Structure 1
Amino acid sequence: MLNPVHLRTLVEVVKTGSFAAAARRLGYTSSAVSQQISAFERAVGVTLFEREAHSVRPASAALMIADRGAELLAAFDGFEHEVKAMVQGLRGRLRIGTFPTASARVVPKALARLTRDLPDAEIRLDEAEPDDVLPLVLTGELDLALVYAYDLVPRTWPEELTVVPLLDETLLVMVPSGHPAAKSNVRLEDLRDERWIASRDGTSGATCLTRLCAAAGFAPKIAFRSNDYEVVQSLVAAGVGVALVPALGYKALPGTHAMPLRHKPLRRHVHVVHRTANTNPLLCDAVNALLQVCERTVGDHVSPP
């Protein structure tokens, strides 16, 4: 029979890439980790790691076991917590993932509603970009997550997920207030010679900007990058460039002007996702709270899905 303690150790070794790093994370000695891996190899009857002088390399069997084992461990951890919650009289635990602009505009009000209606529930919040939180929803490490998709960077959702639209945001072109484009609705072609401020290379926001400009016949001259929209807007206010900012990330700053593109506006679509098979009884409460908050968030450049 496989030992779940040894399975957790194997998952950590694969994740960290070494016995020593796994030992530090688990609170064991390197020798204890080595012994557990050897015991696991004996149990399954196959060598799981190629051991070298100063490193280990996982075999394909180890990668497969770690991938499946992480899901099993997450399910076991959830079950263990549910048992403890039942014994202690708690109502359960909810683990939520979100992205920064939703953290500022949507999530606080939803959490306030949840903590008011479910005072005994344990609610945890993690913040990251959609590409980082989606795998955590799929493995069960998060119960649900807020994610987004740009018009020009569509997403395909894994079939294991239930996807609930929350709201749509218009993408706004932000320029310094003295810029000629601030006096009228802007055409993208008018900004072909500008310096641009964009999010990190490879993000959906940066990809959307590149594709949008390509459709207008030019490549944007990206001078500065930041995933923090407060930084992006401060750079625009300082007059060092222009930017494309989603409505949830926009705050009216002195010295700036923001507007949709003159022709058909582009949008970023915000959804909440969870595994369809997730039986956490708090999921329904959380999704309803998010829907109610988003209904009240609708306004300038933010609309129902």
Structure 2
Amino acid sequence: MLNPVHLRTLVEVVKTGSFAEAARRLGYTSSAVSQQISAFERAVGVELFEREAHSIRPASAALLIADRGGELLAAFDGFEHEVKAMVQGLRGRLRIGTFPTASSRVVPKALAKLAADLPDAEIRLDEAEPEDVLPLVLTGELDLALVYAYDLVPQSWPEELTVLPLLDEALLVMVPSEHPAAKNNVRLEDLKDERWIASRDGTSGATCLTRLCAASGFAPRIAFRSNDYEVVQSLVAAGVGVALVPALGYKALPGTHAMPLRHKPLRRHVHVVHRTANTNPLLRDAVNALQEVCQNAVGGYINQP
């Protein structure tokens, strides 16, 4: 196998035409350069220099190897630079998982900051619910993920993960703007006879709604289900039901009114998680960018923990 150190020495000897001058440039002794060239010749099986008493002459094989070797060494130097930059967090690949409402309200600004600070970093984004992205973080297919947990749906996190809070968001009741509850701070009991629009059965949002209503003595009559909060709010605007919506998923639509529950404020808590053992140097930058974006989102129905 060819030794890249010996290859670099050969290239320098061909360039300078002298063992002594190559040794001076490389910081070796002339004897060390001579030994490295002899070792290289043994590796390739051919003499590379015609040696005379006070000079050397490169053979055609040496000229060819030096020409191609110079290209290889330049590529290796570039690769070495990339590795150092990656270790320093200036370049590399970061794979992020997120859920839809964070994708539209939090992630774009954080990615813009990362792209500005680390223009050579490769960032990939996957979108899914927390129960789908957590296994990918644990297997290393994702470096980090944004996840959430509802007040009434306790969530335990695998011990392999580092879990950092990003923000808390209020859960808002959305009703058509002409609904009587739109004029007052609503009590959940006032909505027991309404048709509800909820997320998919079995999701944390749907479970939270069911438990919330049960605590008020009734089961919600769920007429429609969608995990797309734009669809949910459009259905509310159309007057076909009411809904419980996290603040990140809320957009003021004509024909709707949103408010937190009176006496029973509930929140959804957003976290960023990553494997504690993950050594990707870009993790720190990504977490910092997400925390900065969430800090600037403080206000209204969204608050930093």
Normalising by structure 1, what TM-score?
0.72
Distance 1:246 1:89, change over 3 A: closer
CA contact (8 A) 1:70 1:139 kept: no
1:36-59 alpha-carbon deviations (Å, 9 max, x no partner): 999999999999999999999999
Q: Which has the larger radius of gyration?
A: 2
User: How far is the alpha carbon of 1:91 from its aligned partner?
Assistant: 1.4
Deviates more, 1:156-165 or 1:67-76: 67-76
Q: Is the 8 A contact 2:150 2:269 kept in 1?
A: yes
Report the alpha carbon displacement of residue 242 of structure 1 after superposing the two structures with TM.
0.1
Residue-by-residue CA offset, 1:90-135 (whole Å, 9 max, x unaligned): 8110000000000000000000000000000000000000000000
Q: What CA deviation, in whole Å up to 9, does each residue of 1:61-103 have, x standing for no partner?
A: 9999999999999999999999799799981100000000000
* Contact residue 146 and residue 270 of structure 1 kept, 8 A: yes
Q: Residue 89 of structure 2 contacts residue 281 of structure 2 at CA under 8 Å; is this kept in 1?
A: no
1:290–1:66 Cα change, 3 Å: farther
Whole-Å separation in 2 of the counterparts to 1:244 and 1:17: 80
Deviates more, 1:60-69 or 1:192-201: 60-69
Match of 1:41?
41
* Whole-angstrom distance in 2 between the partners of 1:300 and 1:282: 31
CA separation in 2, counterparts of 1:206 and 1:259? 18
Once structures 1 and 2 are overlaid, which stretch shifts more, 182-191 or 48-57? 48-57
Structure 1 range deviating more: 206-215 or 45-54: 45-54
Alignment of 1:87-126 (within 5 A): 91-126=91-126
The whole-number CA distance in structure 1 between the counterparts of 2:298 and 2:116 is 23
Contact 2:90/2:118 (<8 A) preserved: no
Deviates more, 1:207-216 or 1:67-76: 67-76
Evaluate the alpha carbon distance shift between residue 22 and residue 287 of structure 1 in structure 2; reply closer, same or farther with a 3 A threshold.
farther
Unaligned runs of 5+ in 2: none
Aligned ranges for residues 22-41 of structure 1 at < 5 Å?
Answer: none
| Aligned equivalents of 1:13, 1:159: Cα separation in 2 | 57
Shift of 1:264: 2.9
* Large movers: runs of 4+ above 2 Å: 1-90
Structure 1 gaps, min length 5: none
Query: Is the partner of 2:154 in helix, strand or coil?
Result: coil
1:233-275 alpha-carbon deviations (Å, 9 max, x no partner): 0000000000000000000011100000001300000000000
Q: Deviations over 1:196-243 (max 9, x none)?
A: 000000000000000000000000000000000000000000000000
List aligned pairs for 1:43-82, cutoff 5 A.
none
| Residues 64 and 252 (structure 1), Cα distance of their counterparts in 2 relative to 1, 3 Å cut | farther
Q: 1:246 to 1:2 in 2, by over 3 A?
A: farther
Residue pair 1:74, 1:141 contacting (<8 A) in 2 also: no
Higher mean C-alpha deviation, range 101-110 or range 72-81 = 72-81
Match of 1:192 in 2: 192
Q: TM-score, normalised to structure 2's length? A: 0.72
Shift of 1:193: 0.3
How many pairs align?
305
Structure 1 residue 290 displacement after superposition: 0.2
Q: Is the 8 A contact 2:172 2:260 kept in 1?
A: yes
**Contact 2:89 2:282 (C-alpha < 8 Å) held by counterparts:** no
User: 1:289: how far off?
Assistant: 0.2
**Which secondary structure does the structure 2 equivalent of 1:138 belong to?**
helix
Cα distance in 2 for partners of 1:280, 1:114 equals 15
Return the alpha-carbon distance in structure 1 between the equivalents of residues 243 and 166 of structure 2.
25
Describe the SS at the equivalent of 2:269: strand
